[in-house]
Amino acid sequence: MWASLFHLIAVFVAIHITKCQTVCNKQAPLEWYLKKHTIQLNWTLIGNICENDLECWGSQGKRQVSKQPFSFPQICPLQLQHGDKLLMSADETLKTYGIRIFNVSRQDFESCTTNAELKNQSVFPHNTNESEHVEAKWITPGHHYFIALHEGDSQLCKLGLRLNVSVKTQFCRASPLLRLCSGNGVCRTDFYEGAYHCRCNHRYFGRFCERFDVCLDNPCQNKGICLSNGSTDPNNRTYKCLCPPHFTGVNCSEIIGEANCQTICEDGTCIQLSPASFKCICAFGFPGPPCEKRKAQCDPNPCRNYSGSECACADGTLVPECRRQQSMCSPSPCLNNGTFVSRGKDYFCR
């Protein structure tokens, strides 16, 4: 049997020397799935063997086995979701010679060290043959390391018959009765994370995306400061704007007093909203309020239907704006009672 084993090792060494580089397929990022999966792992030295950080983990220095770079062969690392079912089997060659699978420490995984205590760490009470279910005690949340031995000898392990299994749980809801991430995000993990966590949708935050931040896009105008209550009630997503002097209203969009409005609305029209509040409608080309600074004619795309500038179009014509011909039935694009005049594929206002 030993002669056969050494022959087997010699064959695998030859394969190992001539084989192409194996880069493990990493499924990242992964989303938590509610229905548990069954994963099949076949112990073999032909294919699915990686040898360094880059092949096994995709980059240098980002792996879960050790902090130091390594250069030993192993089966591509496996990630499981807690509750998944893991099946193990051996290829036909290894069935013939017989291998036993053992759960070991990280140090023993890296060195393929064997000791007398391995007997109690045998995953199965017999040699691995056909597909067999791995007991849950061997795949609890965390990192687990397995090696394959032939009659206690570690040579097959050193050739690559060792496996790093990461089992991850989720921290995406406070109770099994609640939706993952409160229905406002995605429960996900990256390859190097130890568990699944919530990635919240826009405006949502909190461990379970249970809070809503209405102030994220700041609805307060005129440099108002938005204060959110961070409510978990979808029907009570209230906020409050702290308005600067001379401004009021829910979103600080109203100006207090007509005199202030006339001052602020320098190039615009004041419209009264209540006895004490006004709204400024700026003239075209004067953003604001305060409507005090006219857009430079060389600002990006300033040609928007007013007489202050002309656009030099691709066909050589000069028109207020290089837009495609509008339908004659469309509302006139000209402001301030301007007259729409068609010129080929373009138009101008007068």
For 223-238, how does the pLDDT look when each residue is reduced to its tens digit (9 = 90+)?
Answer: 999 998 777 776 777 8
pLDDT in tens, 167-210: 999 999 999 999 999 999 999 998 788 999 999 999 899 999 99
Q: In the prediction, which pLDDT does 20 show?
A: 52
Quick one: average pLDDT of 65-87?
82
d(CA 114, CA 33): 37
User: In the chain, where does the domain assigned CATH 2.10.25.10 lie?
Assistant: 180-212
**pLDDT level of residue 116 (50, 70, 90 thresholds):** low
More confident residue, 24 or 275: 275
pLDDT in tens, 300-309: 555 544 444 4
d(CA 328, CA 319): 18
**pLDDT level of residue 214 (50, 70, 90 thresholds):** confident
**pLDDT level of residue 73 (50, 70, 90 thresholds):** very high
Q: Is the pLDDT assigned to residue 41 strictly greater than 50?
A: yes
**For residues 269 and 275, is the Cβ–Cβ distance under 8 A?**
no
The winner for highest mean pLDDT among 282-286, 296-300, 339-343 is: 282-286
d(CA 213, CA 228): 6
**pLDDT level of residue 10 (50, 70, 90 thresholds):** low
Q: In the prediction, which pLDDT does 14 show?
A: 47
d(CA 306, CA 311): 11
pLDDT in tens, 258-271: 898 988 888 889 99
Sign of CA dihedral 124, 130, 134, 138: positive
Nearest to 229 by CA among 205, 208, 251, 261: 205
Q: In the prediction, which pLDDT does 209 show?
A: 94
Mean of the per-residue pLDDT values for the chain? 79
Cβ atoms within 10 Å, residue 127:
16
Q: Is the pLDDT assigned to residue 254 strictly greater than 90?
A: yes
d(CA 312, CA 92): 76
The fourth-level CATH superfamily of domain 180-212 is Laminin (2.10.25.10)
Q: Is the pLDDT assigned to residue 81 strictly greater than 60?
A: yes
Class of domain 23-168 (CATH, top level) = mainly beta
**pLDDT level of residue 61 (50, 70, 90 thresholds):** very low
Q: In the prediction, which pLDDT does 238 show?
A: 83
User: In the chain, where does the domain assigned CATH 2.60.40.420 lie?
Assistant: 23-168
In Å, what is the CA distance from 65 to each residue of 74, 91, 142, 239, 325? Answer: 11, 26, 12, 48, 65
DSSP 3-state helix, strand, coil percentages of the chain (rounded to 5)?
15, 30, 55
**Structure tokens, 83:** 């509750």
